[in-house]
């Protein structure tokens, strides 16, 4: 059996598959088993911000695995200690401690539990069209019947309100509200950028009512939107969830917490959370992001990309939106055929809902590569 047949035969079929077998990646390029080259505008859904196959991360992982790959956090470890210090030094000042885990959903699970433990309250408010992962706690915060319905009953205490609408959000707040969880840019929900004024109002409301603000930057973190964390362009959270590109492609998540977060010892732990292997990869990856000024690069290239996309004259385009290198092209039709046509023209892009093409290229993409993507898009959307 070939690769496709083996995967189709032996794996639980929960992923909508594309009909290619990817075998190799370098920088912003991916290669399939037939040797065809693609420009990556997906970054494994926002994971590969530093590009594929980075030598420095490879070296860090190799050396750390031979030194000490795993070390449960009941023991101290110097690599984890250095990463904790580095992350806290780079994130907004309100955030002073970190909990390490292994994925975005796990970071959201942790954040939900931490806010309940810290406030003694049970209610969380999330946004319609929000996406926070698919484990049971995170799934309760994620919007969408198609995700939730097969797995009911959902965790109680979650309310959803329209995104970017302060009136509706404030009406949903009660004495029992522990936290509000939001994305600054809804990724899966269609690349919808929230208003800064909205987030400022949310921040004020949280301060007045003693509610904790969780910002989910699993997709927007680590330079994607033009700053290391998107919240630098909006407001400071009490808890910041990150994952995806934190460790150069090695699984890792983290919850960065303000002093308001107080959690009993032993109440929340993770075997692999903060493993020296992932921490070494994260330290190397952060070094690259900061040293190579990838956030600035995302801003400059993102402005160029968005400008060129907005200049495309096409009957099919409803709106182009985004921030940095997180870009959505909303069409007046379903995007499936366009995503397929892009792939046939050497570009791997994502969907965000039925009608939005989502582009999340590695931040190391070159302007020439962006021009190739633009040519493919112009051809397809003509």
**What is the C-alpha to C-alpha distance for residues 207 and 262, in angstroms, rounded to an integer?**
17
Close Cβ partners of 336 (under 8 Å, ≥ 6 residues apart): 351
Decide: is 132 part of the binding site for ligand PLP (CB under 6 A).
Answer: yes
**What is the C-alpha to C-alpha distance for residues 90 and 86, in angstroms, rounded to an integer?**
6
Interacting residue with ligand PLP among 112, 181, 218, 381 (CB under 6 A): 218
- Name the CA dihedral angle for 36, 42, 47, 51, rounded to a multiple of 10 degrees: 50
Picking from 217, 220, 215, 203, the residue whose alpha carbon sits closest to that of residue 169 is 203
Binding residues for ligand PLP restricted to 233-262, rule: CB under 6 A: 243
**What is the C-alpha to C-alpha distance for residues 128 and 141, in angstroms, rounded to an integer?**
9
Catalytic residue, from 114, 199, 216, 229: name it. 216
Decide: is 351 part of the binding site for ligand PLP (CB under 6 A).
Answer: no
Q: Establish whether 159 is a catalytic residue.
A: no
Binding residues for ligand PLP restricted to 28-87, rule: CB under 6 A: 45
The stretch among 17-25, 128-136, 300-308, 344-352 that binds ligand PLP (CB under 6 A) is 128-136
Q: How far is the CB of 131 from ligand PLP (least distance, A)?
A: 5
Q: Establish whether 199 is a catalytic residue.
A: no
Residue of minimal CB distance from ligand PLP? 104
Q: Where are the beta strands (DSSP E) in 251-316?
A: 253-257
Q: How far is the CB of 334 from ligand PLP (least distance, A)?
A: 21
The stretch among 111-119, 215-223, 281-289, 366-374 that binds ligand PLP (CB under 6 A) is 215-223
Structure tokens at 140: 């309760």
Decide: is 219 part of the binding site for ligand PLP (CB under 6 A).
Answer: yes
187-221: b (≥16 Cβ within 10 Å) or e: bbbbbbbbeeebbebbbebbeeeebbbbbbbbbbb
Decide: is 133 part of the binding site for ligand PLP (CB under 6 A).
Answer: yes
Q: Establish whether 244 is a catalytic residue.
A: yes
Point out which residues bind ligand PLP (CB under 6 A): 45, 103-105, 108, 131-133, 183, 187-188, 216, 218-219, 243
Active site residues: 131, 216, 244
């Amino acid at each position: 059996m070939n690769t496709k047949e083996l995967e189709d035969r032996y794996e639980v079929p929960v992923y909508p598959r594309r009909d290619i077998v990817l075998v190799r990646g370098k920088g912003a390029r991916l290669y399939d088993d037939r040797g065809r080259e693609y420009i990556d505008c997906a970054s494994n859904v926002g994971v590969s911000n530093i590009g594929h196959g980075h030598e420095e991360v490879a070296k860090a992982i190799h050396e750390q695995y031979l030194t000490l790959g795993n070390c449960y956090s009941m023991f101290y470890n110097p690599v984890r200690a250095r990463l904790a210090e580095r992350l806290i030094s780079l994130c907004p000042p309100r955030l002073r401690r970190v909990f390490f885990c292994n994925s975005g959903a796990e970071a959201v699970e942790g954040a939900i539990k931490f806010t309940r433990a810290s406030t003694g309250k049970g209610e969380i408010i999330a946004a319609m069209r929000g996406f926070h992962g698919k484990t049971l706690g995170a799934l309760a915060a994620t919007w969408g019947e198609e995700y939730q319905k097969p797995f009911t009953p959902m965790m109680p205490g979650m309310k959803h309100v329209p995104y970017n609408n302060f009136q509706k959000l404030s009406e949903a707040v009660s004495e029992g509200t522990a936290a509000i969880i939001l994305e600054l840019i809804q990724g899966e929900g269609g690349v919808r950028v929230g208003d800064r004024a909205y987030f400022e109002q949310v921040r004020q409301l949280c301060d007045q009512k003693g509610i904790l603000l969780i910002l989910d930057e699993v997709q927007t973190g680590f330079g994607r939107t033009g700053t290391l964390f998107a919240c630098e362009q909006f407001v400071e959270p009490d808890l910041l969830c990150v994952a995806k590109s934190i460790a150069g492609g090695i699984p890792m998540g983290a919850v960065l917490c303000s002093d308001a977060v107080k959690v009993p010892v032993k109440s929340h732990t993770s075997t692999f959370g903060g493993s020296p292997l992932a921490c070494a990869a994260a330290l190397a990856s952060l070094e690259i992001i900061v040293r190579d000024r990838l956030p600035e690069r995302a801003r400059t290239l993102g402005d160029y990309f968005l400008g060129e996309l907005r200049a495309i004259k096409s009957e099919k385009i409803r709106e182009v939106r985004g921030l940095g290198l997180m870009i959505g092209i909303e069409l007046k039709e379903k995007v499936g055929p366009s995503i397929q046509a892009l792939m046939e023209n050497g570009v791997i892009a994502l969907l965000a809902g039925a009608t939005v093409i989502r582009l999340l290229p590695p931040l190391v993409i070159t302007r020439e590569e962006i021009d190739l993507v633009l040519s493919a898009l112009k051809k397809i959307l003509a």
